[in-house]
Amino acid sequence: MNTCKCSKAESDRERIETLSAQPEGKGLVTIEEEPIIGETPQAILKSWLTPNPLFYIRNHYTIPEGVSDWELTLDGNVEDALSIALQDFHSFPIQTLPITLECAGNNRSDLEPTVPGNPFQNGAVSTAIWAGVPLRHLLERAGVKEGSVEVLFEGFDSGEPAPGESHQPYLRSLPIDVAMHPDTLLAYEMNGEPLSREHGYPVRLVVPGWYGMASVKWLKRITVLQENFVGFFQTDRYIIESDDGETVPVAQMHVKSLISWPAEHMHLPAKPHMINGMAWSGFAHIAKVEVSDDGGKTWQSADLVGPRYRYSWQQWNFAWTPKSSGKYTLVARATDEDGNEQPLETRWNSLGYIINGVRPVCVEVE
Amino acid sequence: MNTCKCSKAESDRERIETLSAQPEGKGLVTIEEEPIIGETPQAILKSWLTPNPLFYIRNHYTIPEGVSDWELTLDGNVEDALSIALQDFHSFPIQTLPITLECAGNNRSDLEPTVPGNPFQNGAVSTAIWAGVPLRHLLERAGVKEGSVEVLFEGFDSGEPAPGESHQPYLRSLPIDVAMHPDTLLAYEMNGEPLSREHGYPVRLVVPGWYGMASVKWLKRITVLQENFVGFFQTDRYIIESDDGETVPVAQMHVKSLISWPAEHMHLPAKPHMINGMAWSGFAHIAKVEVSDDGGKTWQSADLVGPRYRYSWQQWNFAWTPKSSGKYTLVARATDEDGNEQPLETRWNSLGYIINGVRPVCVEVE
């Protein structure tokens, strides 16, 4: 676990101020303008629901132009290939789920030594109420044949993923059992509104519990495969080196927490305060959150409050009475019901994914 | 239960078109412009979460001017009266809850004979994620004394509630046990955003499970009482005649459902459709929703889908294959886990509250 480095954090703060003059005044902390990449500001991480304009964005290519006469193709290893228009979604059941999505590279700027890639702080994580049709219903209507192992998703967006790579659409696959899970959604609605262009209008995939790269936007085609898909964003990126040198794909979100309030470097009056934050895991409900005010030497349990749902983050409160004036290093760590513990230190990796080590917040009590 | 009256419904549709040219382009179906009263459009009742600009509004007086230096007073039968500024809310625990609010006069335009009052159709009901501080924590800090029976809430809004009545603030009380319930909120956030002026900025009461009149906006003062409050919106309005001639206050939302899709008078192709809607009760979770396509002669169970939370409406789906072309009268009825059944007929009352009889939707299959 990093101890407080006030000078680094102050330069981060300047960076936010410099970068937050956002096109369209949307209030995200801009990481890149083309394609759009931006994170949710710290002040908004205090809200359990993220308003749509402040939901983090990590696009890989330019937003595709308005998709007129949109139809979704479902083909590959199925009995009957389908072509489905937006109005045909009325013939399938609606499903609505609160789901937290986190970018696999969230907190990348905390890594030392530094790595290339978008230098996210802790705001590439957001929560919305998603509505759509479970993908399973479309797959069942098409009839998935024996021998299917994965389902491939193609977005309408395309480009060169890296210098020297060919022009290609955004492509990602899911194991067949994840694609068939009743909570894997073809979402057309986010917080009661149709998807915005930035978030995948008209229809995107939302894979609950998985890092955001799996939730392919602007869906064009779904193909049932008899073999594992190989592609840039599947096998060259969103992978992590295991201890034995193998590469492992990034999949479910690892257990993690953040402190929403107080913010870094706040000066607080010497009285009781309610520290609060969020915790989440793609594997299970959050079982406990512990808080330390001495940089991790001693820990106390926080109260889990608010909505307690399978795929959305868990809000927590911790009533804190500082013993005296001075500097405090506040840290929080979460454990999920599968027994996964948030590590004190992130496992460094060269592409900068799954950065879930605890993150200190330094405050001064007056 | 009313059978379909297409001519009446058509004039309702014209009315929507006439009235929906809303100031500020907010998209509500306007019932009154001053004070603002508007309902959620039918097309939005299909979404489990209601976007803030489309959340129904039933104000009683003009929205109070910007409340600068806001402080909330808590006094009356307490050990220590309090005065609390917005920043002091940081010292209390956050609570977040998905809550459906319905106006007690929702569906008033369905009553026959007609009654005075805002002629709501079925859109004075909406759902948001509310965040704030449980009122209980403030009451505990002040110390509620023996002999307290009610808590009175005063808004910053005021006016003459009816011709001949004195100028007065909006005032409503709650029984002490409801005020002390851990889920009764002093809300400052709605769907992740600070409250808008229309919805009670900076802080409003939100009483889960109760009709909307209890959730006092623009809170100014909270007073613990040793007697029952008597006042216009407590004892002259929001009351209903019981069978024995007594008046009973309107309180918790009675069990009810609505059909979100299809909309009234839709022409549908002769193929399977997914009828869907919402159901809610202030008393308990929804246990079942039944659907009839023959005006209530025969019933079949719908699937309860999506979030299943104590205080928010329950989404439901019903896979319907029309037997032949022609006109169909679709109806839905809900039952809650306390055994309360949505009635086929609303119990008519002269002020037009608790209009929860089933409401037919007429469609034509081509």
pLDDT in tens, B264-292: 999 999 999 999 999 999 999 999 999 99
Residue of B nearest to A188 (CA): B47
Average pLDDT rounded to a whole number, residues B133-155 = 98
Residue of B nearest to A55 (CA): B192
CB of B47 less than 8 A from some CB of A: yes
Select from A192, A306, A307 the Cβ nearest to the Cβ of B49.
Answer: A192
Q: Is B110 helix (H, G, I), strand (E, B) or coil?
A: helix
Q: How far is A190 from chain B (nearest CA, A)?
A: 9
- What strands, in cross-sheet order, belong to the sheet with B168-175? B82-85, B71-76, B219-225, B150-159, B168-175
- Of B82, B179, B183, nearest to B130 by C-alpha is B183
Among residues 176-195 of chain A, which lie with CB inside 8 Å of chain B? 189, 191-193
Q: Do A96 and B305 touch (CB under 8 A)?
A: yes
pLDDT for A23: 43
pLDDT for B310: 96
In a structure prediction context, what are the per-residue pLDDT tens digits for chain A, which is 366 residues long? 655 544 344 433 333 333 333 344 469 999 999 999 999 999 999 999 999 999 999 999 999 987 778 999 999 999 999 999 988 887 899 999 999 999 999 999 999 999 999 999 999 999 999 999 999 999 999 999 999 999 999 999 999 999 999 999 999 999 999 999 999 999 999 999 999 999 999 999 999 999 999 999 999 999 999 999 999 999 999 999 988 889 999 999 999 999 999 999 999 999 999 999 999 999 999 999 999 999 999 999 999 999 999 999 999 999 999 999 999 999 999 999 999 999 999 999 999 999 999 999 999 999
**Distance, CA of B156 to CA of B219 (rounded, Å):** 6
Beta strands in A54-181 (DSSP E): 57-58, 71-76, 82-85, 95-102, 125-134, 150-159, 168-175
Residue A292 buriedness (CB in 10 A; 0-12 / 13-18 / 19+): buried
Contacts of A86 (CB under 8 A, 6+ apart): A70, A188, A202, A203
Of residues B245 and A296, more confidence is placed in: A296
Contacts of B267 (CB under 8 A, 6+ apart): B363, B364, B365, B366
DSSP tag of A232: I
Select from B47, B97, B192 the Cβ nearest to the Cβ of A50.
Answer: B192
DSSP tag of A252: B
pLDDT for B10: 41
Select from B92, B97, B317 the Cβ nearest to the Cβ of A274.
Answer: B92
Residue A141 buriedness (CB in 10 A; 0-12 / 13-18 / 19+): middle
pLDDT for A298: 97
Tokens matching residue B198 = 């229309």
Q: How far is A6 from chain B (nearest CA, A)?
A: 24
Mutate to test the interface with B, among A274, A310, A365 (most CBs of B within 10 A): A274
Mutate to test the interface with A, among B26, B97, B190, B191 (most CBs of A within 10 A): B191
pLDDT in tens, A229-252: 999 999 999 999 988 889 999 999
pLDDT for B240: 95
What ipTM was reported for this prediction? 0.91
Alpha-carbon distances, residue A265 vs A8, A9, A17, A348 (angstroms):
12, 9, 15, 26
- Of A12, A146, A15, A151, nearest to A73 by C-alpha is A151
Residue A136 phi/psi, 5-degree rounding, is -50, -40
CB of A20 less than 8 A from some CB of B: no
Contacts of B148 (CB under 8 A, 6+ apart): B76, B77, B176, B224, B225, B226
Among residues 124-153 of chain A, which lie with CB inside 8 Å of chain B? 129, 131
